[in-house]
Amino acid sequence: MILKTTQLIHLPVAKKTLKLSHGFTIIETLLAIAVFSLILILLVTGVMQISRSFMRGVNTTALQSTTRSISDRLSQDLQVSTYSGSINQVAELQYFCVGGNQYVFTPGVEYTKSNGTVGLVVTRMSTPDCRAPALPLAGQTQLLSEHTRVLFLKITRATSVSTGSYYKLSIALGAGASDLFCLQNDATCEPASSDEVYGESVKCQTGSGSEFCAVSKLNVLVQPRI
């Protein structure tokens, strides 16, 4: 009887090394959020600055165009007429007559169509006398645009050796709410305390809301033709 012996042979088994992929730690996540937030804040701030600059430029350009238009009209009237240089006042209105036209305005008061303010209007005179205007005005042409006001208006007559007699027209217009203006000689630049803002030194405040304020000033020398 022959016995068979079976020998078990143990072969080495190759071990596989598993590599575990680790995610972001809390510190890395917080740093990423902080960097992203900072970039977002810088982008939003830049867009807001650009938007404010654009709005300020639009308002200033529109107001300068209105100022130039009024100055051109007054200059044409001054060239063909004799003007005494006086601006009369009745109640809250100021008025003067030149070139066969009567100009009436409410100094420093914002003009809007809805609140019934006068703004700056011109009316063709029916008589040679510069009479006080009666409200409501009839047949007038409005020279101001919406939400603007006359900050300063003055016409003086002078004489020089080189040019002879001439008129100096000084006009300043403002756009925006009353609390956006202040006086140039006021170091603190406090907001206006009333709805009437008038004077040669009025300027816009700086800071929040300044993009909705604009001031346009123009000085013109007019040579009369008569």
Per-residue pLDDT tens digits for 163-202: 678 899 999 999 998 888 887 665 667 666 665 688 888 8
Q: What's the Cα-to-Cα distance from 75 to each of 101, 107, 124, 162, rounded to whole Å?
A: 12, 20, 16, 20
Residue that the structure tokens 């919406």 belong to: 146
Question: Phi and psi (nearest 5°) for 84?
Answer: -75, -25
Q: Nearest to residue 115, comparing CAs of 125, 104, 106?
A: 106
Residue 12, SS3?
coil
Contact 152, 199 (CB under 8 A): yes
Alpha-carbon gap, residue 100 to 107, rounded angstroms: 22
221: pLDDT strictly greater than 70: yes
Instruction: Calculate ∠ Cα 116-117-118, nearest 5°.
Output: 120
Alpha-carbon gap, residue 95 to 119, rounded angstroms: 12
pTM above 0.85, yes or no: no
Alpha-carbon gap, residue 124 to 218, rounded angstroms: 25
Q: Nearest to residue 130, comparing CAs of 94, 78, 172?
A: 94
pLDDT reported for residue 133: 85
pLDDT reported for residue 161: 65
Percent of residues, the chain, with pLDDT higher than 70 = 83
Q: Nearest to residue 215, comparing CAs of 146, 158, 148, 144?
A: 148
pLDDT reported for residue 62: 93
Residue 148, SS3?
strand
215: pLDDT strictly greater than 70: yes
DSSP-assigned letter for residue 183? E
Instruction: Calculate ∠ Cα 213-217-211, nearest 5°.
Output: 15
Instruction: Tell which phi-psi region holds residue 83, choosing left (phi > 0), alpha (psi between -120 and 50) or beta.
Output: beta
